[in-house]
Amino acid sequence: MKKSPKKKSAPKRTVRRKSAARPKVKRSQESEPDRRRRAARILAALRETYPRADCALHHRSALELLVATILSAQCTDERVNQVTPDLFRRYPDAKAFAEARPDQLEALIRSTGFFRSKTKSLIGMAQVVRADFAGETPDTMDDLLKLPGVARKTANCVLGTWFGKNVGIVVDTHVGRLALRLGLLSSARDDKDAVKIEQDLMELFPRESWTYLAHALIHHGRNVCQARKPQCAACSLAPECPSAGTFA
Ligand code: SF4
């Protein structure tokens, strides 16, 4: 009996995963002076649209703001604001946070996500504040960066919002996205390149505006220039924005 020829197995197809493409910075031909002038007009438009833009996290002290900012990582400010009233009642100062039982603190902040690592950060931060700063939240970038769970973004927020010190610019997801769409980046690679984004913005905007700028951009990013559906038609920055109307 004639053997039937062996069927050749189909060549395996290599399935390539789509990488989550980050929008890259498109280098424009705009000169540095022109970019500076446009940045000034953007700042003026923001001041007109949001004359009182401020931090959305509820707080009554530097420590409360520090705690709320740590909790706001990967979480909405609304959610943090729901958690903090009870939290601050139970833990009114650095000593109370430093001596907190991790399981009890975890239960209180669970809904903000990443609650185990946030608990470690809160207790660790409070222990250093108590031991090295006599229970007072430090007011310099160098000292804030010594606290567990505190990076530049959190330190900038506390320094600018509570202490009124414009040391840097808070770069969160909204600020990164808007800086990219508004064509304000000269050295950053993309909208997650936080260190360079901060440097680019600091070079473009006057120091006295840094804290305000971040709060206003965050507000604008939440309400108008959302990640998925920016509302360019209703945007007060549209005349100065190279991305206006480019979203399908
Ligand atoms: S014009 Fe559109 S892309 Fe530009 S800032 Fe406004 S909403 Fe965002």
Distance 181 CA to ligand 1 centre (A): 7
CA–CA distance, 73 with 170 (Å, rounded to integer):
13
Q: What is the pLDDT of residue 4?
A: 46
For residue 135, the domain's CATH number is 1.10.340.30
Of 102, 108, 141, the C-alpha closest to 123 is 102
Q: What is the pLDDT of residue 234?
A: 97
Give a yes or no: residue 98 inside a domain. Answer: yes
Q: Closest residue (by CA) to atom 8 of ligand 1? A: 225
Domain boundary among 138, 161, 184: 161
**In the block, which residue shows the tokens 């409070």?**
126
71 and 64 Cβ atoms separated by less than 8 Å: no
Mean pLDDT, contiguous 10-residue spans, the chain (248 residues)? 46 45 72 96 98 97 98 96 98 98 98 98 98 98 97 97 98 96 95 96 98 98 96 97 92
Residue type (1 letter), 102 = P
Give a yes or no: residue 40 inside a domain. Answer: yes
Distance 240 CA to ligand 1 centre (A): 9
Task: Please state the φ and ψ torsions of residue 97, each to the nearest 5 degrees.
Answer: -65, -40
| Sequence-distant (≥ 6) Cβ neighbours of residue 226 within 8 angstroms | none
Q: What is the pLDDT of residue 28?
A: 73
175 and 111 part of one domain: no
Q: Which domain holds residue 110?
A: 62-161
For residue 182, the domain's CATH number is 1.10.1670.10
Composition of the chain by helix, strand, coil, percent to 5: 55, 0, 45
Domain boundary among 145, 161, 177: 161
The pocket around ligand 1, CB under 6 angstroms, is made up of 181-182, 224-225, 230-232, 235, 237-238, 241, 243-244
Domain boundary among 109, 143, 161: 161
Query: What is the count of structural domains for the chain?
Result: 2
Q: What is the pTM of this model?
A: 0.87
155 and 111 part of one domain: yes
